[in-house]
Amino acid sequence: MRYTKFSSLLLSVVLLSGLCSISTEAQKKDGKIQLTPTAPSTPYSGVRRDSLLNGLQIIALDRLTDTSVKVDIIIRAGAKFDLVGKTGLARLTQETLLAVNPRLKEELESLQAKIDWGVTWDTTWFHIETAANNFDSVMEIFARLVVVENIRADAFKRAQAELLEKIKSDQQSPAERADESFLKALYGDHPYGHNLDGSESTVTGIKQGDIYDFMRRFYIANNVAAVVTGNITLERAMRAFKTFFGGWIKSQIVPSTFRPPKQIAQLNLVKVEASDITNVEIRGGVVGVKHSDPEFLTTEVLAKILAARLKKDAEGSAREFTVKASPRVLPGPFFFSAIVPAEQAPAFSRRATESFAALSTTPVSSDELAAAKSALASEYSARPVEYNLREIEVYSLPRDYPLRIAGKIDAITVVDVQRVAKKLLDANALTLVVLGKVNESFKSNL
């Protein structure tokens, strides 16, 4: 009888232990075992991370219900590392590597895959989508281009000629011209002050050796992250990366250490005459904070507040305008952009400048703050999981960043908004760029 009772008790304990291991975690406190609930499941619960011996990071999210696999290869080096006088070097390096295989897109299409690529100021990126059963073959084709030092003279000449042709034939829109003029005025000689493609003179001055040096310095395995999502397991993805990317060399990572932009002490009005357009493009702003700064979210709330105030004050004079805090590895621009009829441009510019300056002096109402926070929280909640995974790798954000966003936004107070606004506007006066028929309408510095 004792044996039977003991066996029943033991079985009960075992079953209870097994159940608790699924839904709870055991913690020992004051000599007693306490059971605490485990963290609830989130869209990021299935994210797994691993790395190759050469330092290449693989971040995977297995979604077996997807019909394909998406791969984002992120090299943490972009146009901000272009050599002085050789703007466009990062772009031309990427194009030179891809030019080694002129039929790349056709090859991938035959495998039910597609590829896209590009350069930002902070990154060089490749985006690949493929059927799961062709994942290994697609990764092998791509790895041949980036892992092997494959700077061929014919590929370099072809890529350089194509980029020069693009620059010569590309008719920039008024908005693009205004954006470029604004960044140049705001940042000056800082790497964020130039465009991504370069100019005819800078691209012509780039030599094959420059491409080789750029690749050797930045196309290194421990400077790369791969975000893999879709119908594939981490184990299978790792096998392919070990096979095709295991030989990618590692080296010392070049830090993003640059002299900060020159401080602007008073309103800097830059007029760009463009007699071929009827409206005026207006850009105005200051250097903000980097994305990894704890105050970046507050600058995004500030942008929402300023946008709402401008919308109210504009009274229909601006046909289109936005306010943005740009995410960057280094402090990015905090600015507004607007398209305004020429006759109304001076008045709108004055109101916009005054509204910008008033951010640090005019109290923010609770309604203003609540509306801005709600709009920002909605934007973040709508972003796909893979988007946030890329952001974490590019900007070195905490891995639980997407899960904490809502709470961080909710915690922003009126005092935080005023403090950050004052900090930004005390650091630099406003830079204002107006592009259009402006020589007559803007006769003074406002």
Could you tell me if 239 and 295 lie in one domain? no
For the cut 50, the answer to whether the pLDDT of residue 9 exceeds it is: no
Instruction: Calculate the alpha carbon distances from 428 to 261, 267, 288, 421, 423 in Å.
Output: 10, 9, 10, 11, 9
For the cut 80, the answer to whether the pLDDT of residue 170 exceeds it is: yes
> Cα separation of 433 and 311, whole Å?
20
Could you tell me if 308 and 229 lie in one domain? no
For the cut 70, the answer to whether the pLDDT of residue 84 exceeds it is: yes
User: Of the residues 180, 214, 245, which one is the last residue of a structural domain?
Assistant: 245
pLDDT at 4: 43
Q: Which two tokens stand for residue 416?
A: 């935080």
Region 270-297: mean pLDDT is 94
Could you tell me if 337 and 228 lie in one domain? no
Closest by CA position to 359, among listed 420, 284, 294: 420
For the cut 60, the answer to whether the pLDDT of residue 52 exceeds it is: yes
Q: Which CATH number do you get for residue 232? A: 3.30.830.10
Could you tell me if 129 and 82 lie in one domain? yes
For the cut 80, the answer to whether the pLDDT of residue 30 exceeds it is: no
Could you tell me if 198 and 76 lie in one domain? yes
- Give the list of residues 6+ apart from residue 254 with CB closer than 8 angstroms, or none: 77, 81, 217, 218
pLDDT at 40: 80
Could you tell me if 272 and 304 lie in one domain? yes
pLDDT digits (tens, 9 = 90+) for 421-431: 999 998 889 99
Q: How many residues does the chain have?
A: 446
Q: Which residue has the tokens 């003279």?
A: 153
Region 315-325: mean pLDDT is 77
pLDDT at 309: 87
- What ranges make up the beta strands (E) of 202-332? 224-230, 268-273, 279-287, 320-325
Closest by CA position to 158, among listed 87, 102, 219, 88: 102
Helices (H), 117-173: 135-146, 153-169
Could you tell me if 171 and 126 lie in one domain? yes
Could you tell me if 78 and 162 lie in one domain? yes
Could you tell me if 55 and 116 lie in one domain? yes
Cross-strand bridge partners of residue 57: 51, 225
**SS3 assignment, position 151:** coil
- What ranges make up the beta strands (E) of 95-219? 113-119, 124-130
Predicted TM-score of the model (pTM)? 0.87
pLDDT confidence tier of residue 333, bands split at 50, 70 and 90: very high
Q: What are the helix and strand counts (H, E) for the chain?
A: 15, 13
Q: Which two tokens stand for residue 227?
A: 């975000």
Region 8-35: mean pLDDT is 46
How many folded domains does the chain comprise? 2
For the cut 80, the answer to whether the pLDDT of residue 12 exceeds it is: no
20 part of a folded domain: no
Could you tell me if 184 and 297 lie in one domain? no
254 part of a folded domain: no
pLDDT at 73: 98
41 part of a folded domain: no
pLDDT digits (tens, 9 = 90+) for 245-265: 999 999 999 999 999 999 898
393 part of a folded domain: yes
pLDDT confidence tier of residue 219, bands split at 50, 70 and 90: very high
pLDDT at 313: 66
Could you tell me if 239 and 299 lie in one domain? no
For the cut 70, the answer to whether the pLDDT of residue 315 exceeds it is: no
| More confidently predicted of 17 and 57 | 57
- Give the list of residues 6+ apart from residue 244 with CB closer than 8 angstroms, or none: 136, 139, 140, 143, 147
Burial call 366-381: b when 16+ CB within 10 Å, e when fewer: eebbeebbebbbeebe
Q: Angle at CA 40, nearest 5°, toward 37 and 45?
A: 130
User: Torsion angle of alpha carbons 245, 246, 247, 249, nearest 10°?
Assistant: 90
pLDDT at 220: 96
Closest by CA position to 362, among listed 373, 352, 354: 354
pLDDT at 314: 62
**SS3 assignment, position 181:** helix
User: Of the residues 245, 276, 295, which one is the last residue of a structural domain?
Assistant: 245
> Cα separation of 381 and 403, whole Å?
10
Domain holding 215, by residue range, is 47-245
Contact by Cβ (8 Å): 152, 246: no
